[in-house]
């Protein structure tokens, strides 16, 4: 199989490693890719959000399968353009990707499907914002109603900060706060059949102890030994299947990766958000444990053949990934710093670039993530943090407590 992967982040590097390891993949290209992805794929330049350009590249490379990593190309219609050329594509149509592209749309679908989630109001005026904040009380949850790369959400007890974020965004969704530990569940789907991957936990805040601003994600681990045994079955029955049915009913089936972000509240799992793509950095840990060949799985979803796929196989043990971000992330990150020790197995590249003299430099907020597996979480943590210590980047920021709460048995349901 000839595969073209679209994207350039850590998620795409993890996907590229998985695709390259699948014996059925005889050729792997990525566009635009990054220096880490270049170790396993042939890189091509393309504007990932230009549907016609991506489709033309897929034709030129005689791709059998295109895998779209990030949300922006999906929302722009890249999967539609690729499929219009008769090429299988893993990723939802633009119409279906609105589950991520618009919080208000996702809430409308969840309401129609009876999916457990937070009560919410879509607001445009300061008056509406004020009434919604009064209704729910603190902690206030204010979300930008559009793509914001995981950074459009403010959760705060500070009423003035909540009002400021609403004013900055224009159109916002204000939600009831959902208490409880968070879980990310990825579901591979062809629109009808749904294959859940292993649940993982992400760390959204910048600093240890869940302090500081929200980010795209600072680390992740799996499996979640503390999660209820029926978690996946319950989320499939209460959330995934009704949502897929509602999307089919609307004539816009969702095929690709449905990312269900959940809070495990005292009343059961409730949806915090849907994404239309693999999560970053959870993908790094989930794929590190997946033994089933990746291209076969994604290809089956892209061709409507998921129901025929044998059950997934998983490796024993645990995986953890620790994100190394640049100075000042998630604000305007400092870039151009030289990175050393990052061209080894286990280091997944995100915001890296190659300077003219060949040096590896930082080129974004989340620069790389260090992924390790082990017989258990303690061993995986030790291995990951040992590797983090061998990476050199001036001004690097990383959390030292990824998976620590789970290791210490501190996660309370
Ligand atoms: P999102 O981009 O919607 O995933 O939001 C980013 C983060 O904000 C989530 O991972 C949660 O930590 C937090 N968050 C968002 N919505 C809520 C909510 N309704 N209740 C509690 N926390 C939330
Ligand atoms: N890890 C969160 C996300 O990918 O949105």
For ligand 1, what atom is nearest to the CA of residue 150? 2
Q: What is the pLDDT of residue 149?
A: 54
> Closest Cα to atom 6, ligand 1: which residue?
153
Fold of domain 318-407 = 3.90.600
Provide the pLDDT confidence category of residue 148 given band limits of 50, 70 and 90.
low
Ligand 1 centroid to residue 37 C-alpha, Å: 30
Q: What is the pLDDT of residue 283?
A: 98
Tokens of 38: 């270049």
Domain spans in the chain, listed from the N-terminal domain onward: 2-90, 120-175, 180-308, 318-407
The residues lining ligand 1, judged by C-beta closer than 6 Å to any ligand atom, are 118, 141, 143, 150, 153, 155, 175, 177-178, 182, 204, 214, 261, 263, 272-273
Q: What is the pLDDT of residue 214?
A: 87
CATH class of 2-90: alpha beta
Mean pLDDT (whole number) for 270-293 = 98
pTM higher than 0.85: yes
Provide the pLDDT confidence category of residue 40 given band limits of 50, 70 and 90.
very high
- pLDDT (tens digit per residue) in 201-218: 999 999 999 999 889 999
Ligand 2 centroid to residue 395 C-alpha, Å: 23
Provide the mean pLDDT of the chain. 96
Q: What CATH number labels 180-308?
A: 3.30.470.20
Ligand 2 centroid to residue 232 C-alpha, Å: 19
Mean pLDDT (whole number) for 42-57 = 98
Mean pLDDT (whole number) for 96-104 = 92
Instruction: Using the predicted structure, report yes or no on whether residue 309 has a pLDDT greater than 80.
Output: yes
Instruction: Using the predicted structure, report yes or no on whether residue 59 has a pLDDT greater than 60.
Output: yes
Rounded distance, CA 80 to CA 90, Å? 10
Mean pLDDT (whole number) for 398-404 = 98
Q: What is the pLDDT of residue 151?
A: 54
State the CATH architecture for 120-175: 2-Layer Sandwich (3.30)
Ligand 1 centroid to residue 250 C-alpha, Å: 27
Instruction: Using the predicted structure, report yes or no on whether residue 64 has a pLDDT greater than 90.
Output: yes
Q: What is the pLDDT of residue 170?
A: 84
Question: Does residue 71's CB lie within 6 angstroms of at least one atom of ligand 2?
Answer: no
Of all residues in the chain, the percent with pLDDT exceeding 70 is 99
Lowest mean pLDDT among 115-124, 151-160, 264-273, 352-361: 151-160
Ligand 2 centroid to residue 279 C-alpha, Å: 4
Mean pLDDT (whole number) for 247-256 = 98
Lowest mean pLDDT among 60-64, 143-147, 195-199, 381-385: 143-147
Higher pLDDT, 269 or 170: 269
- Which ligand places an atom closest to the C-alpha of 181? 1
Instruction: Using the predicted structure, report yes or no on whether residue 89 has a pLDDT greater than 60.
Output: yes
Instruction: Using the predicted structure, report yes or no on whether residue 253 has a pLDDT greater than 70.
Output: yes
Q: What is the pLDDT of residue 152?
A: 81
For ligand 2, what atom is nearest to the CA of residue 150? 5
What are the angstrom distances between the C-alpha of 355 and each of 42, 337, 352? 18, 10, 10
């Amino acid at each position: 199989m000839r595969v073209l992967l679209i994207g350039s982040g850590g998620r795409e590097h993890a996907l590229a490693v998985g695709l390259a390891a699948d014996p059925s993949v005889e050729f792997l290209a990525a566009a635009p890719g990054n220096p880490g992805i270049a170790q396993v794929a042939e890189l091509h330049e393309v504007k990932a959000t230009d549907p016609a350009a991506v489709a033309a590249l897929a034709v030129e490379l005689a791709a059998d399968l295109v895998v779209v990593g990030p949300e922006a190309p999906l929302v722009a219609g890249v999967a539609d353009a690729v499929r219009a050329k008769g090429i299988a594509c893993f990723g939802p149509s633009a119409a279906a990707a609105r589950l991520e592209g618009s919080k208000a749309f996702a809430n409308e679908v969840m309401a129609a499907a009876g999916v457990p989630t937070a009560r919410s109001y879509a607001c445009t005026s300061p008056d509406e914002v004020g009434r919604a904040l009064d209704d729910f009380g603190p902690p206030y949850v204010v979300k930008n109603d559009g793509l914001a790369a995981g950074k459009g959400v403010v959760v705060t007890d500070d009423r003035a900060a909540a009002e400021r974020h609403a004013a900055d965004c224009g159109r916002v969704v204000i939600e009831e706060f959902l208490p409880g530990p968070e879980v990310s569940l990825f579901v591979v789907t062809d629109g009808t059949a749904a294959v859940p991957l292993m649940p993982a936990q992400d760390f959204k805040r910048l600093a240890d102890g869940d302090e500081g601003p929200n980010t795209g994600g600072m680390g992740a681990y799996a499996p979640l030994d503390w999660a209820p045994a029926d978690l996946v079955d319950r989320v499939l029955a209460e959330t995934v299947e009704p949502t897929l049915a509602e999307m089919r009913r609307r004539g816009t089936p969702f095929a690709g990766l449905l990312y269900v972000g959940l809070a495990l509240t005292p009343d059961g799992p409730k949806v915090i958000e849907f994404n239309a793509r693999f999560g970053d950095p959870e993908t790094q840990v989930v794929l590190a444990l997946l033994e089933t060949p990746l291209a076969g799985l994604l290809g089956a979803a892209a061709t409507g053949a998921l129901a025929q796929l044998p059950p997934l196989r998983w490796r024993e043990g645990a995986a953890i990934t620790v994100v190394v971000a640049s100075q000042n992330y998630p604000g305007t990150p400092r870039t151009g710093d030289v990175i050393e020790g990052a061209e080894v197995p286990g280091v997944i590249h995100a915001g890296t670039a190659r300077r003219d003299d060949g040096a590896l430099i930082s080129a974004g907020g989340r620069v790389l993530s260090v992924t390790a597996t082990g017989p258990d979480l303690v061993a995986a943590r030790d291995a990951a943090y040992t590797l983090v210590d061998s990476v050199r980047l001036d001004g690097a920021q990383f959390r030292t407590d990824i998976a620590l709460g789970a290791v210490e048995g501190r996660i309370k349901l």
